[in-house]
Copies of this chain bind each other. A is one copy, B any other.
Amino acid sequence: MTDMRPSGRKLDELREISIETGVTKHAEGSCLIRCGDTHVLCTASVDERVPPFLKNSGLGWVTAEYGMLPRSTSSRMRREATAGKQGGRTVEIQRLIGRSLRAGVDRVALGERQIVVDCDVIQADGGTRCAAITGGWVALRIAINKLMQAGQIASDPLGDPVAAVSCGIFAGQAVLDLDYPEDSEAGVDGNFVMTGDRLIEVQMSAEGSTFSRDQMDQLMALAEKGVTALSAAQREAAG
């Protein structure tokens, strides 16, 4: 089993993670998260206006947008602004990020304001949506810290970090934190979003294949291990 993964990682080994905060001067919260060669710039922007459906509800909102720089990938992708619309994959991903982050927010405590989390992939090597969720939470945490320090929020609307990791069946083995060479070969993969030991979103999918209950449980167990490590990194980065 040694050296079975292209990267030489062990089956249950995460890529090296680094989270650098304060990377842009304008955003209320920001970080550059690096999960191996996947680099995502996350910013959290506070907007004192909420979407129309929440006017005078007293409830806050957190939403997310996702993008990839044209040359974040191995061959250049067409810019979505040029194509005239966001692709289906982009829309799917940003809806997932938004739902995931909202699940970890007490919207009453947040108060009637909106925070938009932008996740822009600078360099992609698999797992960009998971990195976006994990980094997005850090940007959100920092922005909310600022609101609390300014006395605009009285009680903390955030609890345990929200973190996400992918797992998959690669060369017949369940492995943690797929990089691009693994992801493009894996017949089955999943994205797991958790906060503490609670689940927020589980998406397991087979492309041209199927999987068993037993494999599902193996991926789930790997994910729990990965999320624990990611959450520690998030706490340390957000200070």
Interface residues of A (CB under 8 A from B): 24-27, 30, 37, 41, 43, 45, 47, 65, 67, 69-76, 79-86, 88, 90-92, 95, 99, 102-103, 107, 116, 118, 120, 122-124, 190, 195, 197-213, 216, 220
Chain B minimum-CB-distance residue to A81? B80
Give A86 to B85 CA distance when docked, in angstroms. 10
Whether B45 pairs with A208 at a CB distance below 8 angstroms is no
Judge whether B65 and A70 touch: CB under 8 Å. Answer: yes
17 sample A-B contacts, Cβ–Cβ < 8 Å, listed by A number: A65-B70, A65-B82, A69-B120, A88-B92, A88-B95, A92-B95, A99-B205, A99-B206, A103-B206, A103-B207, A195-B210, A199-B210, A199-B211, A199-B216, A200-B211, A201-B204, A202-B202
Question: By the criterion CB–CB under 8 Å, are B71 and A45 in contact?
Answer: yes
Interface centre among A71, A75, A118, A209, by most chain B C-beta atoms within 10 angstroms, is: A71
> Which one of B71, B195, B220 contacts A213 once the chains associate, using CB atoms below 8 Å?
B220
Q: Which of B45, B69, B123, B199 contacts A70 (CB under 8 A)?
A: B45
Q: Chain B nearest CB: distance from A217 CB in Å?
A: 9
Majority SS of interface residues in chain A? mixed
Copies of this subunit: 6
> Which residues in B have their C-beta under 8 angstroms from that of A103?
206-210
A205 B201 Cβ-Cβ under 8 A: yes
What residues on B are CB-neighbors of A69 within 8 Å? Answer: 41, 43, 67, 118, 120
The answer to whether B199 touches A204, judged by C-beta atoms less than 8 angstroms apart, is yes
Cα A37 to Cα B67 in complex, Å, equals 23
Name the residue of chain B whose CB is nearest to the CB of A90: B81
Partner of A206 from the list B83, B95, B201 (CB cut-off 8 Å) is B201
CB neighbours (8 Å) of A203 from chain B are 201-204
Given contacts A45-B76, A47-B76, A73-B26, are A199 and B213 in contact (CB under 8 A)? Answer: yes
